[in-house]
Amino acid sequence: MPDTSCDKTLPSLGELESARLSRPRYQLTIVFHPDLARIGERAALSFAAAQAEVVGRSSPVFSRPGESTVTCALDDPYISRCAFVIEQAQGGLRLQRESVASRCRVAGRDLVDALYLDGEELAAGVPLLLAHSIVLMLRCVTGEQPGACADCGMIGGSEALYHLREQVLRAASSDADVLLLGETGTGKELVAGAIHHHSRRAARPMISVNMAAVPAALAAASLFGASRGAYTGAARSQPGYFQQAEGGCLFLDEVGDTPEEVQPLLLRALQEREVQVVGGELRRIDVRVISATDVQLDDPDKLFRAALRHRLGALELQLPALRDHPEDIGELLLHFLRAALVKEASQLQLPNLDAAAIEVARWADLFYAFARYPWPGNVRQLGHFAARVVLAGGSQPVIPEELRSALRAHSASAQSEPPAQESGVAEVAKSRRRLVDIAEAEFREVMQDCEFEIATVAQALGVSRQSVYRRIQVSPDFRLAGDVPEVELQRSLRRCDGDLREVARDLRISHSALRARLRNTGPTA
């Protein structure tokens, strides 16, 4: 037999591709630059020719995703030619700064000499403030560098959004029903609109329905329509949402909050593509359904029918949270600021290349503050804070106090984590607090920071939920969702265009409690 002891089997193409895609790729993204057109440009750190990369005025070179032929360095006179050096070290990166170099802040800390960033920090994204004029996001990503793709109305050039745009275009080329999954504020209605806009049904209407606001008693008439005289007060035939969307698209928002009694009706309509008009005949329908939810439909406590869940999700798209693409914060913030400036006719002006250094510094600080925050409310929350910047500012940008407080709380939790052996003791001590010992000012601040969610407030204060309920009942400043008069609720729903999270903020009540109230009773006209 031939001697094969020295034969070596080469790795398969699949193994090579998997290894290539899983290899860490480090990049810098411009979150703020005095030349606003450069926000969103990025530079790949290859570490190819050497083990270190110099970051400064003349290197590295940045380009817009999909436009790699046009490159440019930061070219800012306030930044040293070598602001700092980045080296690969022990599964992370080591940042080294010379004492004579321009100032650099890393995630809220001054880079004095050297600083090590581990893989977890780099995966989350590390904001950098160079001198007083440039904000960068240093991040470790995997996969291919995003290329050119239709923007689909989405702001940002991150890998996460590139893949989401690809999925949107693939979904648009099909006529299958789509289920959008993602946290609140990730832009599910925008994605639904993009799918419809790029589909063959684009010329027909897209009708949006908030399923949490559809009361069980009126569900059949609301969804499928009612004929004249079908019930008391039905003076004329009323088309349902399915008929209104005929030939187009029906967007079922917050479908996870569909009342249990309504789910069989919805399932039958989707399976048979026909609806039973209340007091009338069966009608065939030609409608594409796109639904969205921020809850776990597979959770047994949700009482959501498995058959309906799978019928809704012939295609499923998972929308990324903003913390999964923090490199897009600069472009998003700039977009929202511009929109708010126009809407409010504000005298506040964005900077330009001729702006004074102090003005540039104020804007850089603002963008740096936004880049450091984890944004639990995602893109919607960022947009609201951007609007508050415009409303709060006169001729200068002002960071909203709510964001300052949130940043302080985030920094404290990140940098002052109690030792593992002490955490249990701290938790017990915290749980022993009495609500009567908590000042009204602290209670008010925590209620606002936690957006009036009872469970979150109780956890933050270290008291029971029953104690929070009792405090609200005797407080002149707060109330429960069930205590809001119906007339006031209706006014707020109209004022906020049905956006339940905005309604909750407007009324200063719990969003989850508001959803539960509407799910049980529905808004009455």
Structural domains in the chain plus CATH codes: 17-141 (2.60.200.20), 159-322 (3.40.50.300), 325-398 (1.10.8.60), 421-521 (no CATH)
Burial tier of 417 (Cβ tally within 10 Å: 0-12, 13-18, 19+): exposed
Widest CA span in the chain? 94
The per-residue pLDDT for 49 is: 58
User: CA 200, CA 247: separation in Å to the nearest integer?
Assistant: 10
CB atoms within 10 A of CB 86: 21
- Say if CB 149 and CB 158 are below 8 A apart: no
Residue 463 DSSP symbol = S
Of the candidates 351, 373, 375, 328, the one whose C-alpha atom is nearest the C-alpha of residue 40 is 328
Average pLDDT over residues 443-453: 84
- pLDDT tens-digit profile of 273-304? 998 888 778 889 999 999 999 888 887 777 88
Q: Between 20 and 500, whose confidence is greater?
A: 500
Distance CA 205, CA 246 (A): 8
Torsion of CA 122, 125, 126, 128, to 10 degrees: 130
Residue type, 346: S
Burial, 358: exposed, middle or buried (Cβ in 10 Å; 0-12, 13-18, 19+)? exposed
Laid out side by side, the sheet with 84-89 consists of 52-55, 84-89, 92-96, 114-117
Residue 141 has pLDDT above 90, yes or no: no
Confidence of residue 427 (pLDDT cuts 50, 70, 90): very low
Give mean pLDDT, residues 484-500. 88
391 SS3 class: helix
Query: For residue 28, what pLDDT is reported?
Result: 97
What residue has token string 């088309």? 239
Exposure letters 48-85 (e unless 16+ CB within 10 A, then b): eeeeebebbbeebebebbeeeeeeeebebebbbebbbb
E-strand ranges in 33-82 read 42-45, 52-55, 62-64, 67-72
Answer whether residue 400 shows pLDDT above 60: yes
Per-residue pLDDT tens over the stretch 91-132: 899 999 998 999 999 988 999 989 999 999 999 999 999 999
- Bond prior to 215 in cis (omega within 30° of 0): no
How many residues in the chain? 525
Strand partners of residue 128 = 106, 136
86: amino acid identity, one letter: I
Beta-bridged to residue 55, according to DSSP, are 84
Q: Are the C-beta atoms of residues 212 and 521 closer than 8 Å to each other?
A: no
Residue 109: is it exposed, middle or buried by C-beta count within 10 angstroms (0-12/13-18/19+)? exposed
CA-CA-CA-CA dihedral for 84, 112, 30, 71, to nearest 10? -10
Q: How far out from the chain centre does Cα 399 lie?
A: 20
Poorest-confidence range of 184-188, 308-312, 408-412, 501-505?
Answer: 408-412
Average pLDDT over residues 321-342: 96
pLDDT at 315: 95
| 73-86 pLDDT, tens digit each | 999 999 999 999 99
In this structure, the strands spanning 52-55 and 84-89 are antiparallel
CA distance 266 to 285: 13
> CB atoms < 10 A from the CB of 88, how many?
15
C-alpha to C-alpha distance for 93 and 85, rounded to whole angstroms: 10
The residue whose two tokens read 């017990």 is 428
SS (H, E, C) 216-232: HHHHHHHHHCECCCCCC
